[in-house]
A = this chain, B = another copy of it.
Amino acid sequence: MNPDTPSNFSCPIPIREYASVMLAHGGGGKLTHQLIEQLFLPMFDNAALAQRHDGAVMEFGAHKLAFTTDSYVVRPIFFPGGDIGTLAVNGTVNDLAMCGARPLYLSAGFIIEEGFPIDDLRRVVASMSRAAKEAGVQLVTGDTKVVDHGKGDGVYVNTAGIGVVQADRSIAPAAVRPGDAVLLSGDIGRHGIAIMAVREGLEFESAIESDCASVAGLVMALFEAGIEVHCLRDLTRGGLASALVEIAEVARIHVGVRETAIAVRDDVRGACEILGFDPLYVANEGRFIAFIPARDVDRALALMRAHPLGDGAAVIGSVSEQPAGLVTMRSSIGAGRIIDMISGEQLPRIC
């Protein structure tokens, strides 16, 4: 690994002490980071990976090109507000947007379990087609593999995406500066709770729907308005807390947030209490944070609030130099606490 790249995610147990992969290695918390930092990054040492961002940005002729991938293994495949197909398109589109890129092209790789109903496959593919049209991207190449019954779980979908970077500066954790405000695009926790409510058989007066959506249009509007965006991060696996901690650690800055500024719907908060979850760690699929210099905050907020996917946008905190690498939160009664990444497994197979 390049010794100049930050690599100080706190890892209580070195990876060599685990003999085998656990569900928590895929949960987006500490164990996922340990796997990335101690196994993947040393093997593939390059500048793009060293950015520790949602995607890679590379020079390509006169353009900068963003490239990203995610596999989707969500269970159940169909859930209120979307399905694995909607997720596979919007998740990758959003990762490109988080690199400051306008999403252009997607690939799709399907791993289908023998016996999966053709009608369900058709429904997933139709969702992908619809989501791609809505996000303004073309699905241009794909692959299908079938595995034996009992060696999969219905269908897994991988998408990779290519976008062209719109921002004239680097959008990455390293660009975050003391004094930046942290903007959150809306209420949190709906995707994770929509999934868990189905799995646990929870009943609500009206179903909690996933927030799954492409935020690329909203993000591009920030660039078109000339807002000086320093960093963007969507709040998927590991939720708001993990996104903040990752950025604070990589950028070696302190992020202070106010709990009262973070919107959580009452039904989502209620479900979190029943299920024993902290909404800060629950996955979202249509929410993001933006690090923006104080002088651009009013314009950015006005612009986000005028967009249907940002109408609940708010400033939730700000960046300072010290204590570097930490995220702290002040509660409604004024108490402070350190926000850490989650250690174990909170929500397996949420995306």
Q: Which residues of A contact B (CB under 8 A)?
A: 15-16, 18-27, 32, 35-36, 39-40, 43-44, 46, 48-49, 55-56, 58, 60-63, 65, 67-73, 104-105, 107-119, 121-122, 125-126, 128-129, 132, 138-148, 150-153, 156, 158, 160, 162, 164, 348-349
Contact = CB atoms under 8 A, between A and B. Distances in A.
B142 A25 contact: no
Contacts of A43: 125-126, 128-129
Contacts of A152: 151-153
Complex copy number for this chain: 2
Given A21-B116, A158-B158, A142 B109 contact: no
B69 A60 contact: no
A146 B111 contact: no
A140 B40 contact: no
Contacts of A18: 118
Given A19-B118, A111-B156, A140 B25 contact: no
Contact of A40 (B55, B61, B125, B162): B125
A69 B19 contact: no
A147 B116 CA distance: 17
Contacts of A108: 69
A160 B107 contact: yes
Contacts of A60: 60-61, 63, 65, 164
B144 A69 contact: no
A140 B105 contact: no
B145 A71 contact: yes
A23 B114 contact: yes
Given A21-B115, A39-B125, A105-B56, A67 B141 contact: yes
- With most chain B CB atoms within 10 A of its CB, the pick from A125, A126, A152 is A152
Contact of A49 (B19, B128, B141): B141
Nearest to A92: B143
Contact of A36 (B22, B138, B144): B144
A23 B148 contact: yes
A112 B24 CA distance: 11
B128 A16 contact: no
A56 B26 contact: no
A158 B67 contact: no
Given A67-B141, A118-B15, A128-B43, A151 B153 contact: yes
A58 B105 contact: yes
B109 A147 contact: no
Nearest to A125: B43
A49 B126 contact: no
Contact of A148 (B113, B116, B349): B349
Given A70-B109, A109-B109, 20 more contacts: A20-B118, A21-B114, A21-B116, A21-B121, A22-B146, A23-B114, A26-B112, A26-B146, A39-B118, A39-B121, A39-B122, A40-B125, A43-B125, A44-B129, A44-B142, A48-B105, A56-B105, A56-B107, A58-B104, A158-B158
